[in-house]
A and B are shown apart, each in its own frame.
Chain A
Amino acid sequence: MPLTDQELKELQQQAKSIRREIVDVTGWSGGAHIGGSLSMTDILTLLYWKYMRLDPARPDWEDRDRFVLSKGHGGVGHAVVLAQRGFFDREVLHKFNETDSMLGMHLDCHKVPGCETSTGSMGHGLSQAVGMALGARVLKKDWRVYCVIGDGESNEGSIWEAAMSAAHYKLDNLIVFQDRNHMMIDGPTEEVMSLEPLADKWRAFGFETREVDGHDMTRLAEAIDEALRMKGKPFMILCDTVKGKGVDFMENKPDWHYGGLSSELVEKAKQSIGE
Chain B
Amino acid sequence: MSKTDSTFSWTVYEADKLTQREIYGIVLKDLGARHPEIVGLSADLAKSTKIGTFGDAYPDRFFNFGIAEQNMFGVAAGLAQAGLTPFVSTFSAFASMRACEFVRTDICYQNLNVKIIATHGGISFGSAGTTHHATEDYAIVRAFPNLTVIVPADAIETAQAVKKCMEIDGPVYIRIGRGFEPGVYTAEDYEFEVGKAIEMRSGTDLAIIATGATVYHAVQAADILKAESGISARVLNMHTLKPLDEEAVLKAVAETRRLITVEDHNVINGLGSAVADVIAASGKGCAFTKLGLPDRFSPHGYPEDLMHKFHVDTDGIVDKVRELLNREFEEAEDWEDEV
B64 at the interface (CB under 8 A from A): yes
Q: Find out whether the CB atom of B68 lies under 8 angstroms from the CB atom of A193.
A: yes
Q: Which residues of A, 133-181, contact B by the 8 Å Cβ criterion?
A: 152-153, 155-157
| Chain B contact surface mostly | helix
Contact check: which of A98, A106, A157 meets B131 at CB < 8 Å?
A106
Q: Find out whether the CB atom of A105 lies under 8 angstroms from the CB atom of B127.
A: yes
B130 at the interface (CB under 8 A from A): yes
Q: Which residues of B, 111-127, contact A by the 8 Å Cβ criterion?
A: 126-127
Q: Nearest Cβ distance between residue B230 and chain A, in whole angstroms? A: 35
B93 at the interface (CB under 8 A from A): yes
Q: Nearest Cβ distance between residue A76 and chain B, in whole angstroms? A: 11
Q: Which residues of B contact A152 (CB under 8 A)?
A: 44, 66-67
A92 at the interface (CB under 8 A from B): no
Q: Which residues of A contact B45 (CB under 8 A)?
A: 185-186
Closest to A154 in B: B67
Question: How far, in angstroms, from A109 to B12 measured CA to CA in the complex?
Answer: 45
Quick check: which of B274-282, B296-304, B329-337 contacts chain A, the rest being far away?
Answer: B296-304
Bin the interface of chain B by size. Answer: 20 to 34
Given contacts A100-B301, A152-B44, whether A184 and B131 have CB atoms under 8 Å apart is no
Contact check: which of A98, A104, A157, A185 meets B68 at CB < 8 Å?
A157
Q: Find out whether the CB atom of A99 lies under 8 angstroms from the CB atom of B302.
A: yes
Q: Find out whether the CB atom of A156 lies under 8 angstroms from the CB atom of B68.
A: yes
Q: Nearest Cβ distance between residue A72 and chain B, in whole angstroms? A: 7
B33 at the interface (CB under 8 A from A): no
Q: Nearest Cβ distance between residue B47 and chain A, in whole angstroms? A: 6
Q: Nearest Cβ distance between residue A11 and chain B, in whole angstroms? A: 31
- Give 1 or 0 for each of A175-203: 1 = CB within 8 Å of chain B CB: 00000000011100100110000000000
Contact check: which of A108, A184, A189, A193 meets B299 at CB < 8 Å?
A108
Question: How far, in angstroms, from A105 to B128 measured CA to CA in the complex?
Answer: 5
- Give 1 or 0 for each of B21-60: 1 = CB within 8 Å of chain A CB: 0000000000000000000001111111000100000000
Closest to B94 in A: A121
Q: Find out whether the CB atom of A104 lies under 8 angstroms from the CB atom of B128.
A: yes
Given contacts A99-B306, A121-B98, A192-B44, whether A155 and B132 have CB atoms under 8 Å apart is no
- Give 1 or 0 for each of A84-96: 1 = CB within 8 Å of chain B CB: 0000000000000
Q: Find out whether the CB atom of B71 lies under 8 angstroms from the CB atom of A122.
A: no
Q: Which residues of B contact A104 (CB under 8 A)?
A: 127-129, 299-301
Q: Nearest Cβ distance between residue A75 and chain B, in whole angstroms? A: 9
Contact check: which of A118, A119, A186, A193 meets B47 at CB < 8 Å?
A186
Q: Find out whether the CB atom of A98 lies under 8 angstroms from the CB atom of B301.
A: yes
B65 at the interface (CB under 8 A from A): yes
Question: How far, in angstroms, from A59 to B70 measured CA to CA in the complex?
Answer: 35
Q: Find out whether the CB atom of A186 lies under 8 angstroms from the CB atom of B64.
A: yes
Given contacts A122-B67, A184-B44, whether A99 and B301 have CB atoms under 8 Å apart is yes
Question: How far, in angstroms, from A100 to B127 measured CA to CA in the complex?
Answer: 10
Q: Which residues of A contact B131 (CB under 8 A)?
A: 72, 106, 118-121
Q: Find out whether the CB atom of B301 lies under 8 angstroms from the CB atom of A123.
A: no
For A72, A100, A155, A157, the residue with the greatest tally of chain B CB atoms inside 10 Å of its CB is: A155
Number of interface residues of A (CB under 8 A): 27
B14 at the interface (CB under 8 A from A): no
Q: Find out whether the CB atom of A155 lies under 8 angstroms from the CB atom of B68.
A: yes
Q: Nearest Cβ distance between residue A34 and chain B, in whole angstroms? A: 14
B305 at the interface (CB under 8 A from A): yes
Q: Find out whether the CB atom of B67 lies under 8 angstroms from the CB atom of A156.
A: yes
Q: Which residues of B, 56-83, contact A by the 8 Å Cβ criterion?
A: 64-68, 70-71
Given contacts A121-B98, A184-B44, A186-B52, whether A192 and B64 have CB atoms under 8 Å apart is yes
Question: How far, in angstroms, from A29 to B42 measured CA to CA in the complex?
Answer: 28
Q: Find out whether the CB atom of B300 lies under 8 angstroms from the CB atom of A157.
A: no
Q: Find out whether the CB atom of A155 lies under 8 angstroms from the CB atom of B66.
A: yes
A209 at the interface (CB under 8 A from B): no
Q: Nearest Cβ distance between residue B337 and chain A, in whole angstroms? A: 51
Given contacts A99-B305, A104-B299, whether A153 and B67 have CB atoms under 8 Å apart is yes
- Give 1 or 0 for each of B123-148: 1 = CB within 8 Å of chain A CB: 00011111110000000000000000
Q: Which residues of A contact B65 (CB under 8 A)?
A: 155, 193
Q: Find out whether the CB atom of A155 lies under 8 angstroms from the CB atom of B130.
A: no
- Give 1 or 0 for each of B297-338: 1 = CB within 8 Å of chain A CB: 001111001100100000000000000000000000000000
Q: Which residues of A contact B128 (CB under 8 A)?
A: 104-106, 120
Q: Find out whether the CB atom of B302 lies under 8 angstroms from the CB atom of A105.
A: no
Q: Find out whether the CB atom of A106 lies under 8 angstroms from the CB atom of B67.
A: no
Question: How far, in angstroms, from A123 to B302 measured CA to CA in the complex?
Answer: 26
For B43, B67, B305, B306, the residue with the greatest tally of chain A CB atoms inside 10 Å of its CB is: B67
Contact check: which of A100, A120, A155, A186 meets B129 at CB < 8 Å?
A120
Question: How far, in angstroms, from A30 to B276 measured CA to CA in the complex?
Answer: 41
8 A–B contacts, CB within 8 A, in A order: A98-B301, A100-B299, A118-B131, A120-B131, A121-B132, A152-B44, A192-B66, A193-B44
Knowing that A104-B129, A121-B93, A189-B66 are A-B contacts, what are 7 other residue pairs whose CB atoms are under 8 Å apart, sorted by A's residue number? A72-B131, A98-B302, A100-B305, A108-B300, A121-B131, A152-B44, A186-B46
Nearest first, the 8 A-B pairs at minimum CB distance are A193-B66, A104-B300, A120-B131, A99-B301, A155-B66, A99-B305, A104-B129, A97-B127
Interface, chain B (partner A; CB < 8 A): 42-48, 52, 64-68, 70-71, 93-94, 98, 126-132, 299-302, 305-306, 309
Interface, chain A (partner B; CB < 8 A): 29, 72, 97-100, 104-106, 108, 118-123, 152-153, 155-157, 184-186, 189, 192-193
